[in-house]
Amino acid sequence: MTSIPPGLSRAPNLLMSRNALSTINRTSVGLYRVQQQISTGQRISRPGEDPVAAATLSVLDARLERSSQLLRNMQHAAASLATIDTALSEASDLVNEARQIASEQVNSTASAEERAAQATIVDSLLRQLFTLSNRSGVQGHIFAGSTPGSAPVTEFFGAYRYTGSGPGLVTDIRLGSTAPLTLGNPGAIGATSARHNGFVDLAPTLTGSTRLRDADGARGLGISTGAITMRFDGGPAATIDLSHAQTFNDVAHSITAAIRQYESDNSTTILGPGGVSFSGESLSFDIVGGTPDPTLTFSDIASGITARDLGLASDTAPITFDVGSADGASVSPRVTWSTPLSALAGLDITGNGPLGSIRVTNAGRTAEINLADAQTLQDIKNLLETAGLGIRVAINQSGTGIDIHNEVSGSRAGALSITDTDPTNQSALRLGIRTFSGATLASQLNDGRGVRIVHNRTDPITGLPDSSLDVDFRIGLGDADGTLIDIDLRPQDLTTIDAILARINAQLDAGATAAGHAPGTIRASLSPTANGIVIERTGTFPDPIRLERANNSNALEDLGLLNTTIATDGSSTLGRDVAAVRVDSLFTALIDLREALATNSTSGIAIAGENLQRFVDRVAQERAVVGGYARRIDLEVVYEEGRRTVDQTTRSQLLDTDYAEAVTRMTLLQTQLNAGLQSTVAATSRTLLDFLG
């Protein structure tokens, strides 16, 4: 039994003991916590002790961790930019030295021996540039673009090949903001990949293996998959699930299965023997006839767009399929490496036959590549790239054809040239990769200098316009009368090679007719198997044809027709290839200067000097960009460190122990614990004997 001391208002001993024990426990727990805070230095050990502070700390910890990573990124970027800036500074000094040599040696007083000696110096500058272009930093090769793991520039048969790809690596310095770690293409040093754009739309047709992601869709925005509905001749609607379709075969099979189920459920016939197929760039349906002809329609569900993307429905007039209207809207399939050549309407393998051989020349080497066994564009890519000529094949951005990239910076004689070997099967022309064709822009000739003509000249005495002074060159027919035909090219003619040839031929026909000969007696055209303009005459004439410059115009030279060799029978001449694709790089400019100095060519030195001046500006611009990023990183580091300091201060205030307050509290708790123990001992030590007299 328990006693009820009178001092506790008749409270039993057990209740008093438990009450005292509870008080002692609370004090002990408080003492334990404050001792833990003092020993760990942290005010909170578990989230439950202060949920609000714990939630705030979790946010601050995430911010501080992200801040640490950003600071590491910035330090890495700063080191990379410092390396790049040093390299560009050396490149700037190098190109300025080369430009100074060009400026001095273009003077007519310089001798051939002096220029040959300077060519040796330029060659040493080339070697320095080669070493500089392969410089490495903390991130790898700094001019290798997005592939810094390997040296970007290699020597290639006396030239220099750039194999880096991509614009370069970047690192995050703030949300949505980046800084470069490497430089790539295009760039003052890394821009060594010239592109020859394909000029033929290969017009791929739709096949079952065409992936949905490889088509632009009827709206030109790609193809989204989802559910669509179909309705036949005003009957009930049925749903077709296309959400899992990957290829157009998947689409055709799903639609066919849904239609067959609809036919079974509604006891009707919709599809003829042709079923669901492909026609050109569209889905096609063989709909059965009737009286009147029934129609099949498709529509999207709610806000879906799948039917419209597949060309089965439209935002404007509805698309109905019946006996007379079987095809949907074009889904514009794009060219892919797996596209069969037979599916390229632009090649028309069925009508024109398989491809033949083409001739590719680059870096002074020539290869004839037979494309007859190619089945897909990947086969063509492999054949061209494995020929060892330093070229790369890519699909153009619009997905309609292929482009050829020249990766080799070399001499003018080693520029990229692609032509055909068979005049009856012009495969390079069919693929749109011939470098000198009727579609070639006049502005692309002669390394981008175009065709220079004389125009709107006036008589120096009268001051009046004189059309005879606008004549660019003359072509001698070679007849007994010594007929010379004036060729006057105008600015509006300098668009494409076809336009230039049309202007020349119009004047040749007029001149031949005036001399009593039939139109077409002498013609200008492109050689089918050589990249050059052919001037060809028909009939019997006593003298060979003759081409001569007029009014100091550069047109004859720029068209490649100056100082050409006339055929032995005097009836034709073949011009030079002035459309070869060269890389616009600092390597190319230095090689041109070296060769011009070695051959004592004043005009070549002047042209090389102009190109070098451009690279002086380009290197300066790149240094300015790099410097801007470096300055920005310095400011970002200051800002980030300041923000980090504020976050750390706030975190410390929430988490760290206030030792003065904790020690004071611990002392109070110890006093409280001692008092509690003493009062408990005093209260529980009394018995009944203490109240008996």
Q: Classify the phi-psi angles of 302: left when phi > 0, otherwise alpha if psi is within -120 to 50, otherwise beta.
A: left
Cross-strand pairs, 159: 156
- Give the residue-averaged pLDDT of 414-441: 94
Q: Give the Cα separation of 138 and 77 in Å (integer).
A: 9
State the first-to-last Cα distance of the chain, in angstroms, to the nearest integer. 22
Local confidence band at 584 (pLDDT 50, 70, 90 cut-offs): confident
pLDDT in tens, 207-232: 999 999 999 999 999 999 999 999 99
What is the predicted pLDDT for the residue at 690?
61
What tokens appear for 203 in the block?
Answer: 């017009």
Q: Does the pTM of the predicted model rise above 0.95?
A: no
What's residue 640's pLDDT? 85
Give the tokens for residue 589: 């400019």
Q: Using DSSP, how many helices (H) and how many strands (E) does the chain show?
A: 14, 25
CATH topology of domain 61-193+586-641: f41 fragment of flagellin, N-terminal domain (1.20.1330)
* pLDDT above 80 (res 659): no
Q: What is the pLDDT of residues 519-572, one digit of tens each?
A: 999 999 999 999 999 999 998 999 999 999 999 999 999 999 998 989 999 999
pLDDT for 184 equals 80
User: In whole angstroms, what separates CA 615 from the centre of its chain?
Assistant: 23
Token pair in block for residue 69: 């990573």
Range name among 109-113, 506-510, 678-682 with the lowest pLDDT average: 678-682
What does DSSP assign to residue 74?
A: H
Please say whether the beta carbons of 605 and 102 come within 8 A.
yes
pLDDT per position as a tens digit, 160-205: 998 888 888 888 887 778 888 888 877 777 666 678 888 999 999 9
CA 154 to each of CA 150, 389, 407, 553, 594: distance values in angstroms, whole numbers, following the listed order: 10, 13, 10, 40, 19
SS (H, E, C) 187-203: CCCCCCCEEECCCCCCC
Contacts 24+ apart (CB under 8 A), 479-484: 479/515, 479/517, 479/541, 479/542, 479/543, 480/541, 480/542, 481/515, 482/543, 483/511, 483/512, 483/515, 484/548
The pair of three-digit structure tokens given for residue 14, joined into one six-digit string: 């057990």
CA proximity to 128, closest of 161, 98, 108:
98
* pLDDT tens digit sequence for 58-74: 888 888 888 888 888 88
Question: Percent of the chain, pLDDT > 70?
Answer: 95
For residues 577-593, give the mean pLDDT. 92
What is the percent of the chain where pLDDT is above 90? 56
For the chain, what is the mean pLDDT? 88
Q: What are 199's two structure tokens?
A: 């000029």
**Number of neighbouring beta carbons within 10 Å of residue 34:** 22
